[in-house]
Amino acid sequence: MDPTNPADPAVPGERAGPDEEGAVDAYHERGAIAAERGDLAEAEQFYEKALLLSERLGDGRGMALAYHQLGNLALERGDWTGAERWCMRALDADQRLGNERGVALTHYQLGRLAQGRRDFNVADHSYRQCLELIERLGDEHGAALTYYQLGFCAQEQHDLSAAERWYDRARELEEKLGEEHGASLTYYQLGLVAQERHDFEAAEGWYRKALEVNEKLGDEHAAASAYGQLGVVAALQQRFGEAGRWLLKALAGFQNDPEGIEMTTRNFIRCVCLAPLDDQRQLRDLWKAASLPTLLENDPDPPA
């Protein structure tokens, strides 16, 4: 399932001239480049130009593709109303074209939309509709993405057994396909599931697998997330010195993420508050050696 190219071959009678076809393709390419660098407003302008030209040409395939891309941009902005409008237009266009890949993609987008609204029952239903199509089409990459999202929906609804089953299916395909980034995300989520079950040994194993891949890929932010969770798991097992060292590594990786810094700092403070006196001194020394601001004196909450 390729979100940038969900369309099947154009239907007869919807053929544009080569120059006009080239212009539509160029608008889509420039929109994709703008979106990749984070300029959603510019991307939207190019996709709207692609849509207008496709509408003028009566190119149903081009229109459906533009609807998908505009829906993606709305999802990225958190514009749920706009995303729903574009997704429904894409769904209608792809159903009329008999484009199963496009229909599958729209169900996936509608799942993301429902997740954004935190309606996980609706999200689960949309992802299952997507999965039925992409499994029939033999799209293993799309299936892995959808298994992961179904796992996330189950996890958010505290169905840890279902979450683990879906994540395992995602992991198996990601490892088979060599999709290291996707596998690292799945390892991390499996760690969270194990942690929620208080199976700290398993959680640590999954976080270490995620970390190994993140460090290999040079993904500092994802590595910082794994460091942070390894710190939390160590603290939950009262290995406070080890927890502090992991959390300090997380802080270094979160240098451009204020929320990550705040969360990790609070977890370090909680370790200090919960640790015995000798460990407290060690933790404060570690903090001071890292040339970080003065710690708060009291924070009674347990590690998150």
Question: What CATH number should be reported for the domain holding residue 66?
Answer: 1.25.40.10
Domain that holds residue 112: 1-8+21-138
Choice among 66-80, 221-235, 281-295 with the minimum mean pLDDT: 281-295
pLDDT interval class at 254 (50, 70, 90): very high
pTM of the model: 0.85
Q: For residue 163, is it within any domain?
A: no
Q: For residue 133, is it within any domain?
A: yes
What is the model's pLDDT at position 296?
52
What is the model's pLDDT at position 2?
54
Q: For residue 198, is it within any domain?
A: no
The structure tokens 């997740």 sit at: 115
Contacts of 8 (CB under 8 A, 6+ apart): 61, 97, 98, 99, 100, 101, 102
Q: For residue 181, is it within any domain?
A: no
What is the model's pLDDT at position 13?
37
pLDDT interval class at 292 (50, 70, 90): confident
**Cα 74 to Cα 113: distance, rounded to the nearest angstrom:** 9
**pLDDT exceeds cutoff 60 at 204:** yes
Q: What is the full DSSP assignment across 53-121?
A: HHHHHT-HHHHHHHHHHHHHHHHHHT-HHHHHHHHHHHHHHHHHHT-HHHHHHHHHHHHHHHHHTT-HH
Q: For residue 1, is it within any domain?
A: yes
What is the model's pLDDT at position 11?
36
**Cα 168 to Cα 234: distance, rounded to the nearest angstrom:** 24
Choice among 7-16, 55-64, 73-82, 262-271 with the minimum mean pLDDT: 7-16
**Half-sphere exposure of residue 155, counting CA atoms within 13 Å on the CB side?**
23
Mean pLDDT, the chain, as a whole number? 91
pLDDT in tens, 140-189: 999 999 999 999 999 999 999 999 999 999 999 999 999 999 999 999 99
Q: For residue 266, is it within any domain?
A: no
What is the model's pLDDT at position 168?
98
What is the model's pLDDT at position 6?
46
* Helical H segments across the chain, by residue range: 18-36, 40-57, 60-77, 80-97, 100-116, 120-137, 140-156, 160-177, 180-196, 200-217, 220-236, 240-253, 258-274, 277-289
What is the model's pLDDT at position 291?
81
Q: For residue 55, is it within any domain?
A: yes
What is the model's pLDDT at position 255?
87
**Cα 108 to Cα 131: distance, rounded to the nearest angstrom:** 8
- Looking at the 3D structure of the chain, how many domains does it have? 1
Q: For residue 157, is it within any domain?
A: no
183 neighbors 171 (Cβ within 8 angstroms): yes
What is the model's pLDDT at position 266?
94
Region 59-87 average pLDDT:
94
For residue 275, the 8-state DSSP code is S
**pLDDT exceeds cutoff 80 at 302:** no
What is the model's pLDDT at position 295?
63
Phi, psi of 19 (to 5 degrees): -65, -45
Q: Name the burial class of residue 98, with classes exposed (0-12), middle (13-18) and buried (19+) by CB atoms within 10 angstroms of its CB.
A: exposed
